[in-house]
A and B are shown apart, each in its own frame.
Chain A
């Protein structure tokens, strides 16, 4: 958020309330920010990256502008690639890898629970973007989330394919206490 606020101020001075509004609009209102904008503005001012001429007013009513240091910091940040070279601690990966080492876990059912959840979240984003067809910012931010989720679904698919290919035990042993997917009959459809 720090650098997004610097970017917004690079167009010229702006009030706290306006910066909050613009931030939400530019990110398609996907990430609600609450009071975080004003706290971040305070920190940016403390660090000398922005300045304000109305120290008495509260964050929403103060008018902020970029300093020279702030403009330099923004340029540096835009050109610095995100730190993706190091594997992230990914909750889903950890859960699946732990499950693979446990007895009594139906791994394919577990993969399906996560797959279904991820696809459901994708459906939510699809719904929201379809409901606002002209909102390009929303579509781009939602796309980022959908592609991230899609990568996880693909990873689950590849885990399953690798397990099948390697002939590893996929079904639970006799103890099914950790079975995660309730048994469903195939009777699906009909009036909703």
Chain B
């Protein structure tokens, strides 16, 4: 069963002559352990796709399933609980709370979901350990570099029993090497069993995903298949 599945999802705004289609008949599935890039220019619908996948916005038509559960069948509270427990977000501007340390920032989604402070803290430390970020745990956001803040945000997005990690231009504010490190961490988080989707206009970042979906004018126009092994360089010409 796919962690995320969109079935013929469309999203439009306005009505009649002023109706604008942001997404049209989009179907895709993302499996646990997989990192998928959605690549498109501004206005291609990629951010809309992400907010619909994350249940922050409803589809006008079609179905969104997370872990096999059709989001439309859930009450507003049920949807909010699904979001808190199963979906993690990474934003371009990190969105860490400045008054909390890194580990407190990572623990906060669990505490908001009613988990006791000590066990939320322990779970946050566990995910920081797993992602190689233990040394950052006690630092406040203003004591972290941009790359370190984004790595902390990734830990926050996968803490607990999150199954789906969604990222919107996650390296937009970072330099080349930090961006690469963040993408590597996203992949590592996915290898641990999370399904990841990030949207970007940057081909260089998209090239670090397992699979790339190209979006234009709200439609999926193309996709690149899963990656092969490293030995394929210069022997497998990917030209069509």
A positions within 8 Å CB-CB of B: 32, 108, 112-113, 115-128, 130-132, 143, 146-147, 149-150, 153-154, 157, 160-161, 181, 184, 186-192
Contact of A124 with B238 at beta-carbon distance under 8 Å, contacts A116-B224, A161-B41, A189-B30 already known: yes
B positions within 8 Å CB-CB of A: 2, 5, 25-31, 39, 41, 176, 184, 201-204, 206-208, 212-214, 216, 219-230, 232-234, 236, 238-240
Interchain CB contact under 8 A, B230 and A153: no
Of the candidates A113, A127, A161, which one forms a contact with B228 in the assembled complex, judged by CB atoms under 8 Å apart?
A: A127
Residue of B nearest to A160 (CB): B41
Interchain CB contact under 8 A, A115 and B203: yes
Contact of A186 with B212 at beta-carbon distance under 8 Å, contacts A117-B240, A119-B207, A123-B227 already known: no
A192 to B204, alpha carbons, bound, how many Å?
23
A146 to B230, alpha carbons, bound, how many Å?
15
Nearest chain A CB to B217's CB is how many angstroms away? 9
Interchain CB contact under 8 A, A157 and B26: no
Which residues does chain A contribute within 8 Å of B219, judged by CB atoms? Answer: 186
Q: 6 other contacts beyond A108-B216, A127-B227, A181-B221, with CB at 8 A cut-off?
A: A119-B207, A123-B212, A128-B230, A132-B230, A147-B204, A154-B203
Interchain CB contact under 8 A, B26 and A146: no
Of the candidates A113, A119, A127, which one forms a contact with B224 in the assembled complex, judged by CB atoms under 8 Å apart?
A: A119
A191 to B214, alpha carbons, bound, how many Å?
19
Task: List 26 A-B pairs, Cβ < 8 Å.
Answer: A112-B221, A113-B240, A115-B203, A116-B222, A119-B206, A122-B203, A123-B207, A123-B212, A123-B224, A124-B233, A124-B234, A124-B238, A126-B207, A143-B176, A146-B207, A147-B204, A153-B203, A153-B204, A181-B221, A184-B221, A186-B220, A187-B27, A188-B27, A188-B223, A189-B2, A189-B28
Interchain CB contact under 8 A, B232 and A124: yes
Contact of A112 with B230 at beta-carbon distance under 8 Å, contacts A117-B238, A119-B206, A119-B212 already known: no
The 7 closest A-B pairs by CB, nearest first: A189-B29, A131-B230, A122-B207, A120-B238, A153-B203, A186-B220, A189-B28
Interchain CB contact under 8 A, A122 and B232: no
Of the candidates A32, A127, A132, A146, which one forms a contact with B204 in the assembled complex, judged by CB atoms under 8 Å apart?
A: A146
Of the candidates A119, A143, A184, which one forms a contact with B203 in the assembled complex, judged by CB atoms under 8 Å apart?
A: A119
Which residues does chain A contribute within 8 Å of B239, judged by CB atoms? Answer: 117
Interchain CB contact under 8 A, B207 and A189: no
Which residues does chain B contribute within 8 Å of A122, judged by CB atoms? Answer: 203-204, 207
Which residues does chain B contribute within 8 Å of A123, judged by CB atoms? Answer: 207-208, 212, 224, 227
Interchain CB contact under 8 A, A191 and B201: no
Interchain CB contact under 8 A, B41 and A112: no
Which residues does chain B contribute within 8 Å of A132, judged by CB atoms? Answer: 230
A160 to B224, alpha carbons, bound, how many Å?
20
A119 to B201, alpha carbons, bound, how many Å?
12
Interchain CB contact under 8 A, B233 and A127: yes
A123 to B226, alpha carbons, bound, how many Å?
10
Interchain CB contact under 8 A, B26 and A186: yes
A118 to B2, alpha carbons, bound, how many Å?
29
A122 to B240, alpha carbons, bound, how many Å?
15
Residue of B nearest to A122 (CB): B207
Which residues does chain B contribute within 8 Å of A131, judged by CB atoms? Answer: 229-230
Which residues does chain B contribute within 8 Å of A160, judged by CB atoms? Answer: 41
Which residues does chain B contribute within 8 Å of A125, judged by CB atoms? Answer: 207, 233
A149 to B228, alpha carbons, bound, how many Å?
19
Interchain CB contact under 8 A, B222 and A120: no
Residue of A nearest to B29 (CB): A189
Interchain CB contact under 8 A, A190 and B29: yes
